[in-house]
Amino acid sequence: MGCYLHKIVVRGNKPLFGEVEIQGAKNSALKIMAASILTSEPVVIDNVPKIRDVNVMVDVLEGLGLTVSRNDRRIVIQAKGPIGIEAPYQLVSQMRASIVVLGPLLARLGRARVAMPGGCNIGLRKIDLHIRGLEMLGAKINVGQASLEAEADVLVGANIPLDFPSVGATENIMMAACLARGTTVLDNAAREPEIVDLADCLNKMGAKISGAGTSTLVIEGVDKLKGASFRIIPDRIEASTFMVAGAITGGDVTVKSVDPSHLKMIIKKLKSVGCDVTVGINQVNVKGPAVLEAANISTLPYPGFPTDMQAPFMALLSLANGKSIITENVFENRFSFITELRKLGGEVDIERHHAVITGGSLLKSGAVRAPDLRAGAALVLAGLAIEGVVEILDIHHIDRGYDSFPERLASLGADIKVTKDESLVELSLAEGDSYQVPDVGVGI
Ligand code: EPZ
Q: Is the CB–ligand 1 distance for residue 124 below 6 Å?
A: yes
- Main-chain phi, psi angles of 62, to 5 degrees: -65, -40
215 close to 188: Cβ distance less than 8 angstroms: yes
The per-residue pLDDT for 89 is 86
85 close to 113: Cβ distance less than 8 angstroms: yes
Given a cut of 50, whether residue 428 has pLDDT beyond it is: no
CA of 107 to the centre of ligand 1 (A): 22
Q: Is the CB–ligand 1 distance for residue 372 below 6 Å?
A: no
The per-residue pLDDT for 372 is 93
193 close to 233: Cβ distance less than 8 angstroms: yes
Lowest mean pLDDT among 213-227, 267-281, 325-339, 368-382: 325-339
Q: Residue 134, CB half-sphere, CA atoms under 13 Å: how many? A: 34
The per-residue pLDDT for 430 is 37
Q: Is the CB–ligand 1 distance for residue 129 below 6 Å?
A: yes
- The mean per-residue pLDDT over the stretch 312-340 comes to 94
Given a cut of 90, whether residue 106 has pLDDT beyond it is: yes
215 close to 189: Cβ distance less than 8 angstroms: yes
Q: Distance between CA atoms of 347 and 355, rounded to whole angstroms?
A: 10
Q: What is the pTM of this model?
A: 0.93
Of all protein residues, whose CA lies closest to atom 32 belonging to ligand 1? 167
The per-residue pLDDT for 429 is 34
Report the mean per-residue pLDDT for the chain: 92
Q: Distance between CA atoms of 412 and 428, rounded to whole angstroms?
A: 35
CA of 231 to the centre of ligand 1 (A): 23
Among 52, 120, 330, residue to substitute to test ligand 1 (most atoms within 8 Å of Cβ): 330
Given a cut of 70, whether residue 359 has pLDDT beyond it is: yes
Among 26, 162, 167, residue to substitute to test ligand 1 (most atoms within 8 Å of Cβ): 167
The per-residue pLDDT for 361 is 79
45 close to 58: Cβ distance less than 8 angstroms: no
Q: Among this protein's residues, is 120 annotated catalytic?
A: yes
The per-residue pLDDT for 124 is 60
Q: Give, rounded to a whole angstrom, the gap between the first and last alpha carbons of the chain.
A: 28
Torsion of CA 388, 393, 396, 399, to 10 degrees: -10
Among 116, 128, 166, 330, residue to substitute to test ligand 1 (most atoms within 8 Å of Cβ): 166
Tens digits of residue pLDDT in 179-220: 999 999 999 999 999 999 999 999 999 999 999 999 999 999
Q: DSSP code of 66?
A: -
The per-residue pLDDT for 420 is 78
Of all protein residues, whose CA lies closest to atom 3 belonging to ligand 1? 27
Q: Distance between CA atoms of 124 and 66, rounded to whole angstroms?
A: 30
Given a cut of 60, whether residue 444 has pLDDT beyond it is: no
- Main-chain phi, psi angles of 259, to 5 degrees: -110, 100
